[in-house]
Amino acid sequence: MSQPTGAETTGRYLVLLEDKSVAAGAREMSRVAGISTAGSADSATREELAAADGVIFQDLGIAVVDATPDQVARLTEAAAAPGPISVVEAERVVHAYTVTDEAAAPPVDESVFTWGLQAVGANLSTVTGKGIRVAVLDTGFTVAHPDFAGRTAVTQSFITGETVDDAHGHGTHCIGSATGPRQPAGGGPGYGVAFEAEIYAGKVLSNAGSGSDSGILAGIEWAIANGCAVISMSLGAAVRPGTPHSQIFEQAATRALSKGTLIIAAAGNESRRPGRVNPVGHPANCPSILSVGAIDVQRAIAPFSCGTVDTIGQVDLVGPGVDVYSSWNKEDGGLGMRKRISGTSMATPHVAGVAALIAEKYGSRGWELWARLSQSARRLGLPSTDVGAGLVQTP
Query: Which H, E and C letters describe 207-260, residue by residue?
Result: CCCEEEHHHHHHHHHHHHHCCCCEEEECEEECCCCCCCCCHHHHHHHHHHHHCC
Q: What is the pLDDT of residue 317?
A: 98
Q: What is the pLDDT of residue 5?
A: 52
Catalytic residue among 138, 147, 213, 323: 138
Q: What is the pLDDT of residue 6?
A: 55
3-state secondary structure of 54: strand
**What is the per-residue pLDDT across 241-288, written as a single tens digit (0 to 9) for each?**
999 999 999 999 999 999 999 999 999 999 999 999 999 999 999 999
Tell me the pLDDT of the chain (395 aa) as tens digits. 444 555 799 999 999 998 778 899 999 999 999 998 877 655 444 444 455 688 999 889 999 999 999 999 999 999 999 999 999 999 999 999 887 666 788 889 999 999 999 999 999 999 999 999 999 999 999 999 999 999 999 999 999 999 999 999 999 999 999 999 999 988 999 999 999 999 999 999 999 999 999 999 999 999 999 999 999 999 999 999 999 999 999 999 999 999 999 999 999 999 999 999 999 999 999 999 999 999 999 999 999 999 999 889 999 999 999 999 999 999 887 778 999 999 999 999 999 999 999 999 999 999 999 999 999 999 999 999 999 999 999 99
Catalytic residue among 345, 350, 364, 386: 345
Q: Determine what percent of the chain is predicted with pLDDT higher than 70.
A: 94
Superfamily of domain 97-387: Peptidase S8/S53 domain (3.40.50.200)
- Whether 40 is catalytic: no
Other Cβ atoms closer than 10 A to 238: 19
Q: Which residues contact 121 (CB under 8 A, 6 or more apart)?
A: 393, 394
Catalytic residue among 95, 168, 170, 173: 170
In the DSSP assignment, the letter for residue 17 is: E
Q: What is the pLDDT of residue 332?
A: 82
Query: What burial letters (b/e) apply to 358-384, b meaning 16+ CB within 10 Å?
Result: bbbbeebbbebbbebbeebbeebebee
Enumerate the domain spans of the chain. 9-91, 97-387
CATH (residue range 9-91): 3.30.70
Q: What is the pLDDT of residue 102?
A: 66
CA neighbours closer than 13 Å in the CB half-sphere of residue 231:
35
- Whether 138 is catalytic: yes
Q: What is the pLDDT of residue 20?
A: 75
Beta strands in the chain (DSSP E): 9-17, 37-38, 54-57, 62-65, 85-96, 133-138, 153-157, 198-203, 210-212, 230-233, 235-236, 262-266, 290-295, 317-320, 324-327, 338-341
